[in-house]
C-alpha cells in the first residue's frame, strides 16, 4: 500500500514537473507569468493525438508534438510578449490569460467539445513486485520524464546555449553586456519550455486516455503553485516541488481522508513552505 | 447584414426541409445549455437531441400548422449567465415556454424568474430538488438525485447482494444528493459503507483512492460523477487490478465513457433513464436518427432533453401558444411516452415519476440489466 502510493505519487509528480519546468524557465528569463503555457500543454496533447492518428507510432507523435509546441511557444513570445516587455508586468499577464482562454475555445471549435480518447494501446503487462503494480502507461510516463529531465540537464550544463540561457536567467542585462544574444536565448527558452509542455500534454493524453479543450485549466494554476513553492525561476526547485506536491497529494488522499479538494493541496503545501521560506524552497532573494 | 443573411439562409433551409409546407405562424421555445466551457459536451448532446425533435416536428407540419423555432443560449454552467438568459428569453425573445438542457446550478436560479413571469419551464436532467419548488410553472422530466441514489443503493444491496461498500462521490449537489439516497437505502438493508471519498469535478487521478479501496476489498464500489471522471476512475481501477464490482449512475451514460474507459468498462453497471434495448420504435428510431445525423451514439442527457422538449411540444399542441394554457396542459399530461420511459403524470410539485433503468456494459455497449419500478423508491416527494 505505501509502496504503491509512492509509485502513484511519483507518476503524478513526473507530469507536474514537465509542465511546471517550462513555466519556471520562462519566468527565469522574462520575469512574466506565462499562463498560456497551459494552453500550449493542451495543444501538445491535440498535436500528439493528431500525429498518432496519422502515424501510429508514439515516438513520432511525441517528436511532432514537442517540435510544433516549441514553435508555437516561440511564436507566442515573438508576437505577443515581445512588444509588452517594457510595459508593467500586469500587461503580459493579462494578455497571457486572454490567449489561454482563446486557445481553449479554439480547441473546442476545431476538435469539438467532447473528450477524445488517445488510441494508444499497450500490450505490455503491468510489472508486479509483491503488492506494487506499475502499469505500462506509468512506465511510459517515468521513462519519458526521466529521459527529458536528463536531456534538459545536459543542455543546461554542458552546452554553450544552455550556459547562455542560465546566464540570461540570472541577469539579463549583464549577459547582454557580455555579448550573449539575449533575443535568441529568450526564444530558445520558450522553445524548450513549450516542447516540454507539449510532451507533458501527450503523456497526460495517453496516461488518462483523454484529450479535451479545457485540460489546461487545472495545470494553469497548479503549475503556478509548484513554481512558487520551488522558488520562482529555479529549475531544481521546480522539479523538487513537483514531486513534493505529487506525493503529498497522493498520501493525503490515500491515508488521511481529507475533506478538502485535492487541487487545494498544492496551495496548502505552498503556503506552508512560504511561511518558513518566503522565496520558495530553492529560491534566492 | 450577417444576421439577415444567416436568417434568410435558415429560412431557406426550413423551406427546403418542410417540402413546401407553409406555416401559419412561428412559435418560439427557449432553450439553454452549456455549449462552451467544461460541460460543453453535455450541452452539445442536449442541443443536438432537441434540434432533432424540432426538425421532426417541423417536417411533419409543425405544431397545429405553426412552425417551431428554438431560441438557443449558452449558459456555460454559470448562474449569472443563465439569469441574463432567462430575462432575455422572456423580454426580448417572447418565448412561450422554456426547456432547460442544463445542470442544476444554472437551472435553479432561472426557475423563480420563469415562474414569476408565468413562462413554463421543463428541466430535462437537472437533479436539484429546489428547482420545481420555485412554483407551479416549473416541471422536471428527469430524476431527483436522491431518488437515483436510492435506486443505486437498491441495485447494490438487493440486486447484486453486496454488503461491504465503498464510494467515490463527486463533490457537488448532484453527487451529494446521490450519496444521501444511496446511504439511506443501503442502511435499511444492512449494507455497510466502509469508505467514502469526495472528489472534485475534473479530478483525473484516482490511483490513491483506488489503492486504498483495493486494500479494504469491498464487494462493490459506487462511483458518482460525469463520464470524464467516471471513465478515468474505472480505467485506473482496471490498471490497478481492483476486483470488486463497480456501480455508476446516469453521469456514466455516454458513448464517451465506453470509449475512454476501454476494456475496464466491461461489467460496469449503471442506473440511468435510457434503455438502449427498449423495443419501442420511438426509442429505436431516435437511436438510429441521432447516430445518422451526428455520427455518434446519443446519451441520456440528449434523450432527457428530447423528452423535456416533447412534453412542451405536446402541451402546445393541445393548448395552443399561450403560456398559461401550456402550463395547464403540461400539468394535465397523462401517460406521456418518452424515450426515457413513460411518465404517468406530474405530481403537485411538477416532478415526473418513471422507472429507473439499470444498464450493464457488455462487449463495449450499454445493455438492459434490470429496471426499478418499486414505488417506494421512485415516487418523488410532492412537497
* Tens of pLDDT, residues B114-149: 999 999 999 999 988 899 999 999 999 999 999 999
DSSP annotation string for B209-271 = HHHHHHHH--SEEEE-S-HHHHHHHHHHHHHHT--SEEEE-GGG-SHHHHHHHGGGGTT-EEE
When mean pLDDT is compared across A202-211, A245-254, B76-85, the lowest value belongs to A245-254
CA A233 – CA A21 distance, rounded (Å)? 9
B40–A213 CB contact, under 8 Å: yes
Q: What is the mean pLDDT of residues A184-208?
A: 94
> To which residue does cell 411518465 refer?
B343
- Top pLDDT among A13 and A279 is at A13
Q: What is the percent of chain A with per-residue pLDDT over 90, rounded to a whole number?
A: 58
Which chain A residues have a beta carbon less than 8 Å from that of B43?
113
pLDDT-derived band at A10 (thresholds 50, 70, 90) equals: very high
A133–B240 CB contact, under 8 Å: yes
Which chain A residues have a beta carbon less than 8 Å from that of B296?
114
Give me the pLDDT at residue B16, please.
46
Contact at 8 Å (CB) between B81 and B319? no
Residue A282 inside a domain? The answer is no
Give me the pLDDT at residue B6, please.
54
Q: What is the mean pLDDT of residues A105-132?
A: 86
Q: What is the CATH number of the domain that holds A93?
A: 1.10.3470
pLDDT tens for each residue of B198-236 = 998 888 889 989 999 999 999 999 999 999 899 999 999
pLDDT-derived band at A47 (thresholds 50, 70, 90) equals: very high
Q: What is the mean pLDDT of residues A111-115?
A: 86
Q: What is the mean pLDDT of residues A52-71?
A: 95
For residue A225, CA distances in Å to A233, A265, A274 come to: 13, 10, 11
Chain A residue with the nearest C-alpha to that of B203: A262
Which chain B residues have a beta carbon less than 8 Å from that of A255?
212
Where b means 16+ CB within 10 Å and e means fewer, B317-335 reads eebebebebbbebbbebee
CA A105 – CA A95 distance, rounded (Å)? 15
For residue B279, CA distances in Å to B4, B18, B275, B344, B368 come to: 44, 29, 9, 19, 11
In this structure, the dihedral spanned by the alpha carbons of residues B97, B103, B105 and B108, taken in order and rounded to 10 degrees, is 30
CA distance A190 to chain B (A): 27
Residue B152 has pLDDT above 60, yes or no: yes
Residue A283 inside a domain? The answer is no
Give me the pLDDT at residue B20, please.
46
CA A279 – CA B291 distance, rounded (Å)? 56
Q: Which of A41, A15, A193, A23 is nearest to A104 (CA)?
A: A41
> To which residue does cell 520524464 refer?
A145
pLDDT tens for each residue of B161-204 = 999 999 999 988 889 999 999 999 999 999 999 999 999 888 88
A114–B209 CB contact, under 8 Å: no
- Top pLDDT among A194 and A262 is at A194
Which chain B residues have a beta carbon less than 8 Å from that of A112?
44
Residue A79 inside a domain? The answer is yes
CA distance A30 to chain B (A): 31
Task: Tell me the pLDDT of chain B averaged across its residues.
Answer: 91
Q: What does DSSP say about strands B245-248 and B220-223: parallel, antiparallel, or unpaired?
A: parallel
CA B364 distance to own-chain centroid: 22
Give me the pLDDT at residue B10, please.
52
SS3 content of chain A, % helix, strand, coil (to 5): 75, 5, 25
Which residues span the domain enclosing A54? 2-274
Residue A30 inside a domain? The answer is yes
pLDDT tens for each residue of B326-340 = 999 999 999 999 999
Where b means 16+ CB within 10 Å and e means fewer, A148-183 reads bbeebeeebeeeeebebbbbbbeebeebeeeebebe
When mean pLDDT is compared across A54-68, A89-103, A251-265, B320-334, the lowest value belongs to A251-265
Residue A279 inside a domain? The answer is no
Residues of A with CB under 8 A from a CB of B: 1, 4-5, 8-9, 11-12, 105, 108, 112-115, 117, 126, 133, 135, 137-138, 204, 208-210, 212-214, 217-218, 249-251, 253-255, 257, 259, 261-263
Q: What is the DSSP letter of B201?
A: T
Where b means 16+ CB within 10 Å and e means fewer, B151-176 reads bbbbbbbeebebbebbbbbbbbbbbb
Residue A181 inside a domain? The answer is yes
CA B239 – CA B264 distance, rounded (Å)? 8
- Top pLDDT among A254 and B363 is at B363
pLDDT-derived band at A285 (thresholds 50, 70, 90) equals: low
Q: What is the mean pLDDT of residues B43-62?
A: 95
Chain B residue with the nearest C-alpha to that of A118: B260
B41–A113 CB contact, under 8 Å: yes
pLDDT tens for each residue of A130-142 = 888 888 889 999 9
Give me the pLDDT at residue B14, please.
47
> Can you say whether the dihedral through the CA atoms of A200, A202, A203, A207 is positive or negative?
positive
CA B321 – CA A139 distance, rounded (Å)? 62
pLDDT tens for each residue of B84-123 = 999 999 999 999 999 999 999 999 999 999 999 999 999 9
Contact at 8 Å (CB) between A229 and A241? yes
Chain B residue with the nearest C-alpha to that of A254: B208
Residue A285 inside a domain? The answer is no
How many structural domains are present in chain A?
1
CA distance B232 to chain A (A): 6
Which chain B residues have a beta carbon less than 8 Å from that of A262?
199-200, 203
Residue A82 inside a domain? The answer is yes
pLDDT tens for each residue of B10-51 = 544 444 444 445 688 899 999 999 998 778 889 999 999 999
Amino acid at each position: 500500500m505505501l509502496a504503491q502510493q509512492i509509485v502513484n505519487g511519483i507518476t503524478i509528480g513526473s507530469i507536474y514537473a514537465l509542465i511546471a519546468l517550462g513555466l519556471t524557465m520562462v519566468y527565469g528569463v522574462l520575469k512574466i507569468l506565462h499562463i498560456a503555457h497551459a494552453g500550449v500543454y493542451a495543444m501538445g496533447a491535440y498535436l500528439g493525438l493528431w500525429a498518432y492518428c496519422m502515424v501510429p507510432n508514439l515516438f513520432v507523435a511525441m517528436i511532432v508534438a514537442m517540435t510544433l509546441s516549441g514553435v508555437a511557444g516561440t511564436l507566442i513570445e515573438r508576437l505577443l510578449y515581445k512588444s509588452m516587455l517594457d510595459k508593467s508586468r500586469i500587461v503580459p499577464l493579462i494578455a497571457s490569460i486572454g490567449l489561454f482562454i482563446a486557445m481553449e475555445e479554439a480547441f473546442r471549435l476545431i476538435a469539438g467539445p467532447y473528450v477524445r480518447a488517445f488510441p494508444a494501446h499497450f500490450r505490455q503487462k503491468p510489472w508486479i513486485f509483491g503488492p506494487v503494480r506499475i502499469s505500462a502507461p506509468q512506465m511510459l510516463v517515468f521513462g519519458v520524464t526521466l529521459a527529458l529531465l536528463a536531456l534538459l540537464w545536459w543542455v543546461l550544463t554542458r552546452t554553450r546555449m544552455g550556459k547562455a540561457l542560465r546566464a540570461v536567467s540570472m541577469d539579463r542585462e549583464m549577459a547582454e553586456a557580455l555579448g550573449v544574444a539575449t533575443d535568441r536565448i529568450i526564444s530558445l527558452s520558450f522553445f524548450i519550455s513549450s516542447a516540454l509542455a507539449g510532451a507533458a500534454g501527450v503523456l497526460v493524453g495517453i496516461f488518462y486516455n483523454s484529450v479535451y479543450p479545457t485540460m489546461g485549466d487545472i495545470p494553469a494554476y497548479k503549475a503556478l503553485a509548484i513554481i512558487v513553492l520551488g522558488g520562482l525561476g529555479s529549475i531544481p526547485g521546480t522539479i523538487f516541488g513537483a514531486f513534493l506536491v505529487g506525493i503529498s497529494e497522493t498520501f493525503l488522499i490515500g491515508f488521511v481522508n481529507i475533506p478538502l479538494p485535492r487541487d487545494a493541496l498544492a496551495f496548502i503545501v505552498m503556503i506552508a513552505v512560504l511561511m518558513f521560506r518566503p522565496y520558495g524552497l530553492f529560491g534566492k532573494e | 447584414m450577417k444576421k439577415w443573411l444567416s436568417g434568410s439562409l435558415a429560412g431557406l433551409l426550413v423551406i427546403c426541409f418542410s417540402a413546401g409546407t407553409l406555416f401559419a405562424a412561428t412559435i418560439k421555445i427557449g432553450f439553454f445549455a452549456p455549449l462552451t466551457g467544461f460541460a460543453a459536451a453535455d450541452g452539445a448532446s442536449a442541443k443536438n437531441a432537441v434540434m432533432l425533435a424540432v426538425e421532426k416536428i417541423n417536417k411533419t407540419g409543425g405544431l397545429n400548422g405553426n412552425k417551431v423555432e428554438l431560441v438557443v443560449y449558452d449558459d456555460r454552467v454559470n448562474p449569472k449567465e443563465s439569469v441574463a438568459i432567462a430575462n432575455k428569453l422572456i423580454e426580448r425573445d417572447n418565448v412561450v415556454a422554456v426547456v432547460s438542457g442544463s445542470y442544476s446550478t444554472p437551472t435553479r436560479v432561472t426557475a423563480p424568474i420563469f415562474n414569476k413571469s408565468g413562462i413554463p419551464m421543463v428541466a430535462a436532467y437537472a437533479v436539484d430538488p429546489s428547482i420545481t419548488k420555485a412554483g407551479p410553472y416549473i416541471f422536471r422530466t428527469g430524476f431527483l438525485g436522491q431518488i437515483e441514489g436510492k435506486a443505486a443503493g437498491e441495485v447494490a444491496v438487493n440486486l447484486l447482494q453486496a454488503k461491504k461498500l465503498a464510494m467515490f462521490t463527486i463533490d457537488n449537489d448532484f453527487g451529494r444528493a446521490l450519496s444521501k439516497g444511496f446511504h439511506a437505502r443501503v442502511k435499511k438493508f444492512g449494507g455497510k459503507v466502509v469508505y467514502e471519498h469526495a472528489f472534485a469535478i475534473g479530478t483525473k487521478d484516482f490511483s490513491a483512492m483506488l489503492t486504498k479501496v483495493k486494500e479494504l476489498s469491498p464487494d462493490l464500489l459506487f462511483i458518482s460523477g460525469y463520464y470524464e471522471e467516471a471513465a478515468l476512475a474505472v480505467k485506473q481501477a482496471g490498471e490497478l487490478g481492483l476486483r470488486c464490482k463497480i456501480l455508476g449512475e446516469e453521469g456514466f451514460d455516454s458513448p464517451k465513457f465506453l470509449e475512454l474507459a476501454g476494456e475496464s468498462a466491461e461489467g460496469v453497471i449503471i442506473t440511468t433513464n435510457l434503455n438502449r434495448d427498449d423495443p419501442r420504435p420511438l426509442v429505436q428510431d431516435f437511436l438510429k436518427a441521432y447516430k445518422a445525423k451526428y455520427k455518434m451514439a446519443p446519451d441520456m442527457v440528449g434523450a432527457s432533453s428530447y423528452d423535456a422538449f416533447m412534453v412542451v411540444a405536446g402541451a402546445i399542441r393541445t393548448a395552443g401558444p399561450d403560456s398559461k394554457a401550456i402550463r395547464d396542459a403540461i400539468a394535465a399530461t397523462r401517460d406521456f411516452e418518452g424515450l426515457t420511459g413513460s411518465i404517468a403524470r406530474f405530481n403537485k410539485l411538477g416532478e415526473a415519476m418513471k422507472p429507473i433503468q439499470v444498464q450493464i456494459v457488455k462487449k463495449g455497449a450499454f445493455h438492459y440489466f434490470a429496471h426499478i419500478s418499486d414505488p417506494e423508491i421512485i415516487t418523488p416527494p410532492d412537497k
